[in-house]
């Protein structure tokens, strides 16, 4: 387990950015870190990956395979996305062929727009962010640290990133990310911390709060598309029950995770047959509204 023990950080003789931070990060966890601008979120993440040393305390248990996406990716890079990622793969021990194959697969999955052979400095902010994400995933990370990773991404890439986070955690990795939007943290994190006044505290709701209600989601795969492109439904955050057959999938999903699941489904090409949210069902004991959202 990656562990911080009584960690504090200040730069020079300035104020303490972090004070007496003690916490651990276990395999399979997805941890969100929230807080205001300048609260120390990025400093904490840099300490997790070993780029910044604590002024006091200790960091132990850091795994060897670490993927990191900084808040500001060096978007002025003259190399193309493919050349940059191949180089980074070689640095991490991959052969040129394996690094290029991994780069191509990741850029395809993230739907890079602008061309893999285009210099990174000519890419949009969102597409440069996709390159940053790809470099963190060239080798399967045991620890994946993401600083505002959804910033600038298009809608389809939002869903893909949520899938990737789920996959890393399901494979036994630990994911730590920052984001200022509650909808994003609640949809993706298994645990949430907040930094305020230099101190780290739990921002999780009491057990059962906000998660007792479950929505029912019914999805259909268009027959003309052939074999369904289905994620591992039970592994997605908040999914409690799955039933499938005849090209349809019926899921029970925690209300807080419903929107993220729908985004994942639509991104993969599924149609939404119906959604029954608990607060709607409580007011009207009728069936979910039927339709096909694409």
Q: Where are the alpha helices (DSSP H) in the chain?
A: 41-49, 81-91, 96-109, 125-137, 155-170, 182-188, 258-267, 278-283
pLDDT digits (tens, 9 = 90+) for 55-70: 999 999 999 999 999 9
CA distance 184 to 206: 19
pTM of the model: 0.72
Tokens (6 digits) for 59: 């960091």
Question: Digits of tens for pLDDT over the chain (294 positions)?
Answer: 899 999 999 999 999 999 999 999 999 899 999 999 999 999 999 999 999 999 999 999 999 999 999 988 877 788 999 999 999 999 999 999 999 999 999 999 999 998 899 999 999 999 999 999 999 999 999 999 999 999 888 877 888 898 899 889 888 899 999 998 887 888 788 889 999 999 999 886 544 443 346 778 889 998 888 878 888 888 788 787 787 777 788 888 887 788 888 988 898 899 998 887 654 333 333 333 334 344
């Amino acid at each position: 387990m990656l562990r911080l023990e009584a960690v504090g950080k200040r730069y020079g003789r300035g104020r303490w950015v972090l004070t007496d931070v003690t916490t651990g990060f276990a395999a399979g966890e997805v941890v969100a870190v929230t807080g205001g601008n300048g609260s120390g979120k990025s400093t904490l993440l840099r300490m997790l990956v070993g780029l910044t040393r604590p002024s006091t305390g200790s960091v132990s248990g850091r795994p060897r395979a670490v993927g990191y996406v900084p808040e500001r990716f060096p978007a002025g890079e003259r190399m193309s996305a493919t050349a940059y990622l191949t180089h980074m793969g070689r640095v991490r021990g991959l052969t040129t062929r394996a690094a290029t194959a991994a780069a191509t697969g990741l850029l395809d999955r993230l739907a890079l727009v602008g061309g893999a052979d285009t210099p990174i400095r000519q890419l949009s902010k969102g597409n440069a962010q996709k390159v940053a994400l790809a470099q963190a995933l060239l080798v399967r990370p045991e620890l994946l640290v993401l600083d505002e990773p959804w910033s600038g991404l298009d809608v389809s890439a939002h869903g893909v990133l949520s899938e990737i986070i789920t996959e890393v955690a399901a494979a036994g990795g630990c994911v730590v990310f920052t984001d200022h939007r509650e909808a994003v943290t609640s949809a993706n994190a298994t645990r949430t911390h907040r930094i305020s006044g230099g101190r780290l505290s739990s921002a999780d709701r009491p057990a059962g709060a906000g998660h007792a209600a479950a929505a029912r989601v019914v999805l259909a795969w268009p027959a003309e598309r052939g074999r369904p492109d289905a994620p591992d439904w039970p592994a997605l955050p908040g999914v409690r029950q799955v039933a499938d057959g005849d090209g349809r999938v019926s899921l029970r999903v925690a209300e807080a995770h419903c929107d993220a699941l729908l985004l994942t489904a639509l991104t993969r090409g599924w149609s939404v047959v119906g959604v029954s949210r608990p607060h709607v069902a409580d007011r009207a004991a009728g069936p979910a509204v039927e339709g096909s959202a694409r």
